[in-house]
Amino acid sequence: MGGHAVTDFSRREFLTIPAAAGLAGSAFATQGDVGWQRRIRRVGQLNMTEHDPVEMDVEAWADYWASLKVDAVLVSVTGILAFYQTKVPFHRKGKYLGTKDFFGECCAAAKKRGLHVVGRTSPDLNWEDAVQAHPEWFQRNAEGQPVAHTEDPRLFRTCMFSTYMTDYLPAIMREVNSLYDVDALFTNAWPPLGRLPDCHCGVCVHLPGPGTIEYWDRFNERTIYLWKLYDAIAKEKRQANFYFANLGGGIHSSANLVALGELCEWFQCDNQGRGGDNTPIWACASQGRVCRAVQNGKMATNVTGAWSTGPVRWRYVAKSEPEQRMWFNETVASGMVPYHHIIGAEKGLGEDRRVLGPARDFFRWTSQHDPHFRNKASVAEIGVVMGQRTNLFYQASPGMSVGDSINGLYSALLEGRFLFDFVHEEKLSRDELRKYKALILPNVALLSDRQCQQIADFVDGGGSLLATFETSMYDERNRKRSDFGLAEVFGIRRSGAIIGTNGNAYCARIEQRHELLQGFEDTDWIAGAQYRAPIASVQAPVLTVVPGSVAYPPELSYPNPSNTNEPAMVVRQKGRSRLIFVPGDVDGTLWRSGHGDLSLLLGNCVKWISGNDQPVMIDGPGLIETFAWETEPGFALHVLNYTNPAAHKGWIRDFHAIGPETIRFRVPNQRRVIRGELLRSETVLPLKIDGSTVAFTIPQVADYEVAALYCA
């Protein structure tokens, strides 16, 4: 099978070899080039396969990456298969490596072209001979057996709480430091994306139960410990070097994003393309919003796979060019750096050369306009609270998914053409919320007493608030409260257990006309939610609950009674603060049903709490997502066109142009706009300037347009 023979190495011997290698690498130490990662604008990666050492034209690929004007490339060191002549035990050499120093050739070719090199490792899997020699390194199932990889049973899953992560991986890192001129070290597939490990090894059986918050605490402690360890090893090479890891998964990420956001210098989002049966096209832009919420403006990249992502995969066949291009569009629009990822180099530059073109065109275009993609601040005045603990630990009702609420709200915000930022639940201080007029909490069920008080302070300071369903019903340890933590803020009281749907979902009766109900002039009933957390009656409700009923037989399909005093929405105004609480999971139900009443209602709620005023107002056809940034030259408005039959499923095959789009841009910070330009169209943008307001029209948007405003 190749690789190392099973050898009885003691831990002392295992650590001694890499320690010496680390000392050898110290000769490269320098204080120069600190912070280079904050200046890069494009990244490339050819993910090497075992076969590539005999197939890959290294110089041709290096020329390709240089033609894209990338600033850095990731080159595989790995940990599953070695791409160099390693001496680390159990770092198996690929069967086609022979005597080649494949990693060294690739590293040298990149350096010759002025590119930074990141050594890519992968600590998640190893072979059966390692299991036999080091059984303590591997995950175990409930029966105590090592956990085999689901696709290749010759490989087994390693445990992050084992010495595999503190002995084996550091040995590889130090060996690479000693041999090559690398600028950073990276781990693929760790920390795990969107899930917490379920391991029953000798260490993990003494940890709190998997899936509990107590386990998450230990998981985060271990993640931070290992991150700091690997970063220190990277800096043994030179002080400017650093370590970073996969942190994709968006709001569903497994690791504490705020804690890692403070540590990491490069937020790597492994969000390569649509991966599920019903993943919306805006999933990449959503990831960018997460980065912005936790990274404080530091480096963030999104990996776009040129290969065929999705529930059925083809690793060596290209996805559609429009789909790949839209993923790049969303990456830069949302504030991340584009990252082009190809797997395998069969036959020189690959058998399927369709993977090469989209990035070449897009990367060259961004290189011509780099200053407009260096963002200083978001212009948005609405913050959407992302509840990471809720997404990890909240127990959704049957038929519900924990992510439905934020997905449904996101959809309604796009339909309403709102500018918004994500705000992490752990970043709710007065200073961090100062820029926002309004906050939205889409079923953020888990909130600590301190977080509830921070939200109350935001309201006391004049901020407005919209919350849904079980927001604040649980504390940060997932313990259920006797009443909502924000009950006093909204003036509400929980009155019973969750009520679901048995046939017909409940309706909401219009009790009084209000601007929240624009568009519902010809009805007294509108659609309610699939689930609700009932609250006690309040004075002068805008909407009340019409109870659900059976859907079949139709003879029995009517509400009884049809009038109640149970509020379906509570609306309050307190000074400058506008407050709305909706006890139904209207946002989640919108995502599952697509009902237009719920989208319109949510859009009206957001308009009202924001005072019917936004810094950017856009009038025109189509489904779009917008980002507005203060940039080095002035401001940039990014318009992404999602008007497409494949917006929710499948791949975009082509684009359906929309326009004209008429924009009113309220310029912040007393900046003076002097001229405009459309970057994709590469045309002058005529402006009408009236004080702090700039008006202009984008004639057409095919997939993406950027309106750049230059300031004096």
Where on the phi/psi map is residue 217: left (φ > 0), alpha (ψ -120 to 50), or beta?
alpha
Say if residues 121 and 158 touch (Cβ distance below 8 Å): no
Predicted pLDDT at 623: 98
Predicted pLDDT at 76: 97
688 forms bridges with which residues in the sheet?
695
Supply 427's token pair: 């970043």
How confident is the prediction for the chain on average, in pLDDT? 93
Lowest mean pLDDT among 100-104, 192-196, 412-416: 192-196
Question: What stretch of H or E contains 357?
Answer: helix 357-368
CB atoms within 10 A of CB 549: 18
- Coil, helix or strand for 676? strand
Top-ranked range on mean pLDDT: pick from 139-148, 190-199, 248-257? 139-148
- Block residue for tokens 């990249």: 301
Q: Specify the pairing of strand 299-305 against strand 337-343.
A: parallel
User: 3-state secondary structure string, 277-304?
Assistant: CCCCCCHHHHHHHHHHHHHCCCEEEEEE
**Of 110, 35, 105, 107, which is closest to residue 68 (Cα–Cα)?**
110
Q: Give pLDDT tens digits for 308-335.
A: 998 899 998 999 999 999 999 999 999 9
112: pLDDT strictly greater than 50: yes
Question: What stretch of H or E contains 11?
Answer: helix 11-25
Predicted pLDDT at 247: 86
Q: Give pLDDT tens digits for 201-234.
A: 999 999 999 889 999 999 999 999 999 999 999 9
**Of 121, 233, 87, which is closest to residue 174 (Cα–Cα)?**
233
Q: Cite the beta strand spans of 555-691 per DSSP E.
A: 567-574, 577-582, 616-619, 624-631, 634-641, 661-666, 673-678, 683-684, 688-690
Predicted pLDDT at 11: 52
Whole-angstrom Cα distance, residue 195 to residue 191? Answer: 9
Q: Cite the beta strand spans of 28-77 per DSSP E.
A: 43-47, 72-76
**How does residue 251 score in pLDDT terms, banded at 50, 70 and 90?**
confident
Say if residues 160 and 197 touch (Cβ distance below 8 Å): yes
443: pLDDT strictly greater than 70: yes
Lowest mean pLDDT among 26-35, 339-348, 567-576: 26-35
Mean pLDDT score, 135-143: 97
Predicted pLDDT at 35: 86
Verify cis geometry, omega within 30 degrees of 0, for the bond prior to 280. Answer: no
Whole-angstrom Cα distance, residue 114 to residue 394? Answer: 48
In CATH terms, the fold of domain 40-368 is TIM Barrel (3.20.20)
pTM over 0.85: yes
Q: Which residues contact 218 (CB under 8 A, 6 or more apart)?
A: 207, 208
Round the CA-based radius of gyration of the chain to a whole number and report it. 27
DSSP 492-516: --B-SS-B--BSBPPEEEE-S--GG
Mean pLDDT score, 355-374: 96
**How does residue 249 score in pLDDT terms, banded at 50, 70 and 90?**
confident
**How does residue 195 score in pLDDT terms, banded at 50, 70 and 90?**
confident
Lowest mean pLDDT among 459-473, 547-561, 590-604, 691-705: 547-561
b/e burial code for range 8-34 (CB count within 10 A of at least 16 → b): ebeeeebbebbeebbeebeeeeeeeee
- Block residue for tokens 């919306």: 280
Mean pLDDT score, 58-73: 96
Q: Specify the pairing of strand 543-546 against strand 507-510.
A: antiparallel
Where on the phi/psi map is residue 313: left (φ > 0), alpha (ψ -120 to 50), or beta?
beta
**How does residue 86 score in pLDDT terms, banded at 50, 70 and 90?**
very high
- Coil, helix or strand for 200? coil
**Residue 304 backbone dihedrals phi, psi, to 5 degrees:** -100, 120
Whole-angstrom Cα distance, residue 91 to residue 93? Answer: 7
Whole-angstrom Cα distance, residue 624 to residue 663? Answer: 13
Say if residues 382 and 419 touch (Cβ distance below 8 Å): yes
**How does residue 386 score in pLDDT terms, banded at 50, 70 and 90?**
very high
Q: Give pLDDT tens digits for 473-501.
A: 999 999 999 999 999 999 999 999 999 99
Mark out the alpha helices in 209-320 (DSSP H runs): 213-237, 257-263, 283-295
Predicted pLDDT at 19: 43
Q: Which residues contact 539 (CB under 8 A, 6 or more apart)?
A: none
Predicted pLDDT at 621: 98
Mean pLDDT score, 645-668: 95
27: pLDDT strictly greater than 90: no
Predicted pLDDT at 540: 93
- Where does residue 434 rank: exposed (0-12), middle (13-18), buried (19+ CB within 10 A)? exposed
Lowest mean pLDDT among 276-290, 407-421, 587-601: 276-290
Q: Specify the pairing of strand 184-187 against strand 242-245.
A: parallel
DSSP 609-641: HTTT--SEEEESSS-EEEEEEEESSEEEEEEEE
**Of 156, 129, 123, which is closest to residue 141 (Cα–Cα)?**
156
**Residue 639 backbone dihedrals phi, psi, to 5 degrees:** -120, 115
Mean pLDDT score, 421-437: 97
Residue 442 to residues 230, 248, 390, 430, 690, Cα–Cα distance (Å): 37, 21, 10, 20, 37
HSE value, Cβ hemisphere, 13 Å, CA-based, for 553: 1
DSSP 436-486: -SEEEESS--B--HHHHHHHHHHHHTT-EEEEETTTTSB-TTSPBPSS-TT
Whole-angstrom Cα distance, residue 624 to residue 707? Answer: 14
Whole-angstrom Cα distance, residue 704 to residue 636? Answer: 13
662 forms bridges with which residues in the sheet?
619, 697
In CATH terms, the fold of domain 380-609 is Rossmann fold (3.40.50)
Whole-angstrom Cα distance, residue 235 to residue 242? Answer: 6
Q: How is the beta sheet containing 634-641 ordered, strand by strand? A: 375-378, 624-631, 634-641, 704-711, 673-678, 683-684
Say if residues 407 and 442 touch (Cβ distance below 8 Å): no
Total residue length of the chain:
712
Mean pLDDT score, 519-527: 97
**Of 124, 56, 138, which is closest to residue 350 (Cα–Cα)?**
56
In CATH, which superfamily holds the domain spanning 616-711? Golgi alpha-mannosidase II (2.60.40.1180)
Task: Give CA 80 to chain center in angstroms.
Answer: 27
Mean pLDDT score, 366-395: 97
For the chain, which residues make up each domain, given as ranges? 40-368, 380-609, 616-711
Predicted pLDDT at 25: 35
Q: Give pLDDT tens digits for 235-246.
A: 999 999 999 998
Whole-angstrom Cα distance, residue 112 to residue 109? Answer: 5
Predicted pLDDT at 345: 86
CB atoms within 10 A of CB 559: 17
